Amino acid sequence: MHGLNQVLSNSTRFYSPVTLSHEWPTLSRLLMMVFCSCLGTTINGFFVAAFFVEHTLKKVGNVFLACIGLADLIVTTAVMPVSAVVLLSAGQWDTIPVCRALHFLTEASTYSYSLFFTLVAIETYYRLGHTAFQYDHLCVSLRVGIVSVLVFAVCFITAGVGVYMDLDYDYCQRRHHGDYTFRMSTFIIFHAVPFVITFFGLFCSCFKVRRRAKKQAYYKRSQQYERDFSTTNLNITVFLLYAAAWTPYLVIALKYPNASDTKFYHCVWIGVCRSVFTSFLYSAMNRNFRRAFAHLFYYCCCKSTLTGSFSSRHRRALEYKSATGDVRVHIMHQAVNSNSPQRASSSRETQEL
């Protein structure tokens, strides 16, 4: 198979699907990819780890929200670093198989993100509209873990079939538009229907929180209202940002498939770079995530050794033991060298303390 650079020299001369425009300085492209990869991997890794660190986030229903972070983590830990490595190779690895692999991972991540956000909207709507017992029964009967694995499996299989069987849009060479039936089916199943359900579920959940706060004064004064209000509004913001980032690509791919390479690939990379920043909104706008991010940052960046952590947790006990040992030595010294009854009574009092 011919290298991708040979294909680009004929059809897309100034733009590579993997390393962006050749008219841009190589160092600038490399710094951008490395920065986005490092920042996105850190933030998305903290986002996923937050569900294991913060006790308020350790809920079965939050598994779908954690999977959203995993979907973004695929892009920031695989797609962007590989693009940086390809750029460092001076075009040696800028080949069609590499491009197709990145296309496959990006498609699978996007499909997963869309479906998991739909499940988050359904979970939020059901949690706010039903009792705690009914909600717990739903989470147990739904088998959240199995559903999450099935969603990832369906998304990866669909993305693989579309990319490697040439049923999806030819992202790397732009020689064909794929199978129309397959592309419309994936658009409806993974984008259109999930968008409608997610949009309806999140906004209805927000209205439910406000309506309940108006009717129940004790709920409005509770911490549960603050958590529900923050979570629903934050999910709406993140989902709208996701939809806005990928809408230009969907419009070009479906309506203007013959657009210039600059417009086409710019729209793709806008959606790809979105995965770097959306998880950061949770740490900036939600108290629970902010507290979890602070704990993780301290553990990864500020804690030097486990011994330091142990001494900090047991500092009072160690200081107490050390002080007690010093007092006992001081008492023994006074008992040997002093014959004064007053000092002896004082020593007994000190020993009792």
Q: Which of 302, 320, 339 is the last residue of a domain?
A: 302
Within this chain, do residues 237 and 327 fall inside the same structural domain, yes or no? Answer: no
Structure tokens at 340: 């004064």
Mean pLDDT of 7-18: 59
Q: Is the dihedral of CA 264, 267, 269, 272 positive or negative?
A: negative
Report whether 305 contacts 312 (CB < 8 A): no
Q: Is the pTM of this model over 0.95?
A: no
Owning domain of residue 50: 4-302
What is the reported pLDDT for 131?
66
Q: Report how many domains make up the chain.
A: 2
> pLDDT higher for 27 or 328?
27
Cβ atoms of 46 and 293 within 8 Å: the answer is: yes
Confidence label for 303 from pLDDT (cuts 50, 70 and 90): low
Over the stretch 121-145, which tens digit does the pLDDT of each residue have? 988 888 887 666 666 666 656 678 8
Residues 284 and 328 in one domain: no
Residue 341 has pLDDT above 50, yes or no: no
* Helix H or strand E segment including 26: helix 26-53
One domain for residues 227 and 344: no
Which CATH number characterizes residue 26's domain?
A: 1.20.1070.10
State percent of the chain over pLDDT 70: 78
Q: Rank 3-17, 75-89, 217-231, 322-336 by mean pLDDT and report only the highest.
A: 75-89
CB 228, CB 209: distance < 8 Å: yes
Pair (197, 181) in one structural domain:
yes
Q: Say if residue 294's pLDDT is above 50.
A: yes
Q: Are 272 and 75 contacting, i.e. CB atoms less than 8 angstroms apart? A: yes
Give the C-alpha separation, 242 to 275, whole Å.
8
Extended beta strands in 51-194, E state: none
| Neighbour count for residue 42 (Cβ, 10 Å) | 17
Phi and psi based region of residue 90 (left: phi greater than 0; alpha: psi -120 to 50; beta: remaining): left
Q: Given the DSSP bridges, would you call strands 15-16 and 20-21 parallel, antiparallel or unpaired?
A: antiparallel
Q: Are residue 332 and residue 205 in the same domain, yes or no?
A: no
Q: Indicate if 232 and 326 belong to the same structural domain.
A: no
pLDDT tens digit sequence for 258-276:
888 888 888 998 999 999 9
Same-domain status, 134 and 273:
yes
Radius of gyration of the chain (CA): 29
The answer to whether residues 250 and 187 touch, using CB atoms and an 8 Å cutoff, is: yes
Position 19, amino acid: T
Identity of residue 51: F
On whether both 323 and 211 belong to a single domain, the answer is no
Residues 34 and 179 reside in one and the same domain: yes
Q: Retrieve residue 234's tokens.
A: 């934050």
pLDDT at 110: 95
pLDDT of residue 192: 93
Looking at the fold, whether 61 and 206 belong to one and the same domain comes out as: yes
Answer yes or no: do 196 and 328 share one domain: no
Q: Are residues 182 and 325 in the same domain?
A: no
